[in-house]
Amino acid sequence: MASRGSLFDLRWIIALLFGVYGVVLLVMGIGFESDADRAKTGGFNVNLWVGIGMLVFTALMALWALIRPLRIPDEAK
């Protein structure tokens, strides 16, 4: 059935969203941490670490999508 074959791979969309989020947070964490921010977080650079975490997550999602690509179900079976 054509309808199933054309389903897109959600894993790439998740990777796209968190890739962009990760980069933005990383930049915020490295370049724009203010004293007010440090007061809020108690000195824990949350943007930096969450940014790194999101990029790792992005890489894992992308890796999964590459290793196990979506297969179009064989309708004959």
What are the structure tokens assigned to 65, written together?
A: 């999508």
Count CA within 13 A, CB hemisphere, residue 75.
5
Q: Examine residue 73 and tell whether it contacts other proteins (CB under 8 A).
A: yes
Q: What are phi and psi of 25, to 5 degrees?
A: -65, -40
Q: How is residue 68 annotated by DSSP?
A: S
Q: Examine residue 60 and tell whether it contacts other proteins (CB under 8 A).
A: no
Q: Examine residue 69 and tell whether it contacts other proteins (CB under 8 A).
A: no
Q: Examine residue 4 and tell whether it contacts other proteins (CB under 8 A).
A: yes
Interface residue list for other proteins (CB under 8 A) = 1-4, 6-8, 10, 13-14, 16-18, 20-21, 24-25, 28-29, 32-34, 36-37, 40-44, 46-47, 49-50, 54, 57, 73
